[in-house]
Amino acid sequence: MLRPILKYGDPLLHQTAQPVDAITPEITRLLDDMIETMYAAPGIGLAATQVGVPLRIFVVDLSVGRDPDALMTLINPEFVSREDMQIEEEGCLSAPGFTASVARPGRIVIRGLDRAGEPRTHEGEGLLARAFQHEMDHLDGTVFIDRLRGIKRDMIVRKIRKLTRAGKW
């Protein structure tokens, strides 16, 4: 089932997600819905908080559904290590139409549980490292716009406020 993706400014996007206590049929259904929603958007990652569920879950697939082996589901993810730095243009399904350069780690090792509750460790560089950090930010109540400073952030926030007032956000 497709779920609506919350947009920047929704207070739920700024809440810290809670750990998942048990992998229940409801959690499995949430994962399936998140995957379907991410592919339909289309996007390369989606956190549960973006669909209004404040749980520490995210999905990532750089292939956008073209490679079944590329899909990663992480429940209760945590960083093992973060190294180096990259600055690249980034967008977000919760801020459609907006992008900005954001500093992120160049390499990340992350661990969490897969949908079967088995521990998994994933290593990512470049875009995958960026996606891991981006989704972890969502679980901590941060949208990429919150990482921006100065005029770029101010311009995006002003445009979103204007769209909101016009009923187009």
Dist CA 161 CA 36 (whole Å)? 29
Set 89, 123, 125, 135: catalytic member: 135
118 given a catalytic annotation:
no
d(CA 131, CA 93): 12
At 127, list the tokens: 């875009």
The position carrying tokens 């979103």 is 160
Between the CA of residue 115 and those of 21, 72, 112, 131, 140, what are the distances in Å?
Answer: 13, 9, 10, 19, 21
Which amino acid is residue 3, in one-letter code? R
CA distance 119 to 127: 23
Annotate 77-98 with DSSP letters as a single string: EEEEEEES-EEEEEE-TTSTT-
- Residues labelled as active-site residues: 135
